[in-house]
């Protein structure tokens, strides 16, 4: 029985047959990995040994129901083992790094349940170049350019209505007309200027509508954002204070060290604090579709993390459990941070924008904002937030003035 092709492969095949410059590719379904049926894949790889490297793109049959960028693409060696590794890595990332994002899309966007072990992949030869994403908003095309990763000095992602090559606009129009629906198109521009179409996603179902100041406010220093259509937004906030979190852990460790000498030391309460902290992340992220994080302390100050991580060194078995929990907590924190569309923190902390986060279709109505204050004002601003009693679950407003200076206040 012929496997059902995912949207990503169907659109690429249609574009290839339509004469567009699509790189050579092969779709490998999950069944082929289970049955180790790699004859067609091996034949494909034999054609591309000269580059030593290919790219494996996620291609689940239900992937079209999730927002672009949910699942990963990975570079790998041009052999079967490399493709197996890349697929296993994509599945693992889906179960860890993207787990919260998947749960949120199932909760708020009615995305379907999916079995990640049914993940197929699209394999393409690796093309060294820059990524460009194109889509039509209203009556105008926009082009999002990704920073150059191969250079020591990188540029930030940016959006323009004037592509570097006017042919890119013509190709985009032709692709949309050929597919018959509004689409978000991904290109790779090679070092010699050739334009390769590597993905086209149907976005015709996604809406892109254009969308009394309180005295209890805090004036900050600036904002980083790609889209500048609006100067105001409201969000529920999660107040992140990891200095207080680590101090709480240290207090519990102190109780263990100074506890009853006749009783066996018990680290359960300490591990429960960490587990509860992580549950708070997930529960909040699943309660609100869009939210802000107020980072009073995202990275613990000074050596506090190291002190916490070595407080029970004289009890190696307990310290090993604590270190593992604290290490995993850092990842859970980062997964949570990546789901916020608004980060309010000192200027050293910012959301690192990839192409989908910077100018993907999901950002048109809700672009990512990084609102910041300068480091030399850190103590002053954090104290102000504390004095005003900002708490997790509060709703805030962010107002940006003509000079791009944001003011944050509770509603």
At residue 262, does pLDDT exceed 70? Answer: no
Q: Of the candidates 73, 95, 126, which is a domain's last residue?
A: 126
In a domain, 249, yes or no: yes
At residue 214, does pLDDT exceed 50? Answer: no
Span 188-200, pLDDT tens digits: 998 888 999 999 9
In a domain, 87, yes or no: yes
At residue 114, does pLDDT exceed 80? Answer: yes
Q: Give the CA angle between residues 386, 389, 392 to the nearest 5°.
A: 100
Residue 272 sits in the same domain as residue 403: yes
Question: What pLDDT score was predicted for residue 209?
Answer: 45
In a domain, 303, yes or no: yes
More confident residue, 116 or 348: 116
In a domain, 375, yes or no: yes
Residues making up the chain, counted from first to last: 411
Residue 37 sits in the same domain as residue 156: no
The whole-number average pLDDT for the span 294-322 is 85
CATH code (residue 197): 3.30.470.20
Residue 304 sits in the same domain as residue 281: yes
pTM of whole model > 0.85? no
Question: What pLDDT score was predicted for residue 199?
Answer: 93
Question: What pLDDT score was predicted for residue 210?
Answer: 40
Span 94-105, pLDDT tens digits: 999 999 999 999
pLDDT band at 38 (very low <50, low <70, confident <90, very high): very high
- What value does the mean pLDDT of the chain take? 85
Share of the chain above pLDDT 90, in %: 50
Span 366-390, pLDDT tens digits: 678 888 899 889 899 999 999 988 9
pLDDT band at 261 (very low <50, low <70, confident <90, very high): low
* Boundaries of domain holding 405: 217-410
More confident residue, 220 or 379: 379
Residue 237 sits in the same domain as residue 104: no
Residue 51 sits in the same domain as residue 85: yes
């Amino acid at each position: 029985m012929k496997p059902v092709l995912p949207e990503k492969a169907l659109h690429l095949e249609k574009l290839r047959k339509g004469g567009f410059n699509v790189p050579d590719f092969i779709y490998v379904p999950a069944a082929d990995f289970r049955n180790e049926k790699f004859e067609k894949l091996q034949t494909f790889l034999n054609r591309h040994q000269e580059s030593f490297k290919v790219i494996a793109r996620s291609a689940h049959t239900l992937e079209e129901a999730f927002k672009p960028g949910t699942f990963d693409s990975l570079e790998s060696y041009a052999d079967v083992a490399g493709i197996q590794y890349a697929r296993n890595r994509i599945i693992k990332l889906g179960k860890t790094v993207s787990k919260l994002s998947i749960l949120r899309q199932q909760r708020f966007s009615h995305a379907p349940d999916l079995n990640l072990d049914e993940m197929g992949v699209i394999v393409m030869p690796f093309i060294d170049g820059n990524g460009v994403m194109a889509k039509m908003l209203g009556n105008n095309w926009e082009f999002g350019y990704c920073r150059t990763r191969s250079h020591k000095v990188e540029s930030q992602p940016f959006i323009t209505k004037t592509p570097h090559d006017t042919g890119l606009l013509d190709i985009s129009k032709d692709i949309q007309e050929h597919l018959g629906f509004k689409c978000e198109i991904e290109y790779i521009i090679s070092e010699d200027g050739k334009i390769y179409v590597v993905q086209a996603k149907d976005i015709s179902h996604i809406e892109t509508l254009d969308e009394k100041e309180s005295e209890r406010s805090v004036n900050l220093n600036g904002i980083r954002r790609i889209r500048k259509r609006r100067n105001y937004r409201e969000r529920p906030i999660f107040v992140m204070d990891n200095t207080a979190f680590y101090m709480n852990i240290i207090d519990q460790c102190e109780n263990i060290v100074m506890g009853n000498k006749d009783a066996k030391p018990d680290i359960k309460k300490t591990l429960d604090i960490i587990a509860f902290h992580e549950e708070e992340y997930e529960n909040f992220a699943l309660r609100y579709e869009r939210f802000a994080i107020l980072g009073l302390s995202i990275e613990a100050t000074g050596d506090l993390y190291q002190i916490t991580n070595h407080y029970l060194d004289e009890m190696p078995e307990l310290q090993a459990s604590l270190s593992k929990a604290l290490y995993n907590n850092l990842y859970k924190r980062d997964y949570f941070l990546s789901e916020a569309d608004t980060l309010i923190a000192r200027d050293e902390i910012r959301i690192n924008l990839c192409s989908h986060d910077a100018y993907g279709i999901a950002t048109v109505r809700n672009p990512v904002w990084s609102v910041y204050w300068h480091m030399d004002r850190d103590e002053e601003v954090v104290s102000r937030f504390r004095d005003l009693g900002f708490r997790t679950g509060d709703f805030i407003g962010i107002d940006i003035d003509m000079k791009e200076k944001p003011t944050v206040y509770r509603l």
